[in-house]
Amino acid sequence: MLNLDGKNALVTGIANNRSIAWGIAQQLHAAGANLGVTYLPDEKGRFEKKVGELVEPLKPSLFLPCNVQDDHQVETLFKTIGDQWGKLDILIHCLAFADKDDLSGDFSQVSREGFTRALDISAYSLVQLSAAAKPLMSQGGSIVTLTYLGGVRVIPNYNVMGIAKAALEMNVRYLAGEMGPLGIRVNGISAGPIRTLASSAVGGILDMIHHVEEVAPLRRTVTQQEVGNTATFLCSDLASGITGQILYVDSGYCIMGM
């Protein structure tokens, strides 16, 4: 049954009400999960306030800062989860970053610094958070990350983020191989293009969405809620035999040749 009562779920990557992670958090909550939510701290505390107000109706029992480039913050986050929850069942990795300049124009012009930052935040962070979650998933668990078709095909302007998603998808397989014997499943959702803060940095995102609306079998792109439904399924016992997979939630776009 799709019932997450008694499950502790950590959701990363909520920035605002358009975030895919917000769609996921709502569906996990509806299925009965106890939520922990992280936000990316900034100097003026804007994200803390904004995300805090947004998630308030879901009554998260943990609300903590998490910049994945700050090892101390990640350590504190998982120590708090251990102290307050004792165990973690679900980890939602729903974050990415690349410099706007690296998300348009010629891919070959990406700087070493931009390349490294994109791969660090968008791909290495899954390894980092999964390693920290592993000892807390003593009764098994489910880890879900978000990827995009640009990690397996060339999508104009997606550029360095495509390389990060390719690494992320391989991370899913290696982590699934390592953690499967412990009952921890690791999967990715490859979502169709959705207007969000992160996607607005990708050159021509609206054209990408319009193209999907014209070509995808369902003749539309997907919603945050649809991605949330699939994530909730992947975190539930209904998906107990699924690990190491990338599931496409993209209105069928990826099957088309023309």
Exactly one of 158, 174, 248, 253 is catalytic; name it: 158
As measured in angstroms, the least distance from the Cβ of 14 to ligand NAD is 6
Closest to ligand NAD by CB, 99 vs 178, is: 99
As measured in angstroms, the least distance from the Cβ of 146 to ligand NAD is 3
Sign of CA dihedral 112, 114, 115, 118: positive
Residues whose CB is less than 8 angstroms from the CB of residue 145 and which lie 6 or more positions away in sequence, other chains included: 92, 93, 94, 126, 168, 171, 172, 186, 187, 188, 189
As measured in angstroms, the least distance from the Cβ of 32 to ligand NAD is 23
Whether 148 is catalytic: yes
As measured in angstroms, the least distance from the Cβ of 20 to ligand NAD is 4
What is the DSSP secondary-structure string of 32-96?
TPEEEEEE---TT-HHHHHHHHHHGGG--SEEEE--TT-HHHHHHHHHHHHHHHS---EEEE---
Closest to ligand NAD by CB, 141 vs 192, is: 192
As measured in angstroms, the least distance from the Cβ of 254 to ligand NAD is 12
Whether 248 is catalytic: no
Closest to ligand NAD by CB, 197 vs 238, is: 197
Interacting residues toward ligand NAD by CB under 6 A: 13-15, 18-21, 40, 66-69, 94-97, 121, 146-148, 191, 193-194, 196-199
Q: How many residues does the chain have?
A: 258
b/e map of 29-54 (b: 16 or more CB within 10 Å)? bebebbbbbbbbbeeeeebbeebeeb
Instruction: Please tell me whether residue 235 adopts helix, strand or coil conformation.
Output: helix
Closest to ligand NAD by CB, 176 vs 231, is: 231
Instruction: Please tell me whether residue 245 adopts helix, strand or coil conformation.
Output: coil
Closest to ligand NAD by CB, 138 vs 195, is: 195
Best CA proximity match to 156, nearest among 203, 215, 210, 199: 203
What are the residue numbers of the active site?
Answer: 148, 158
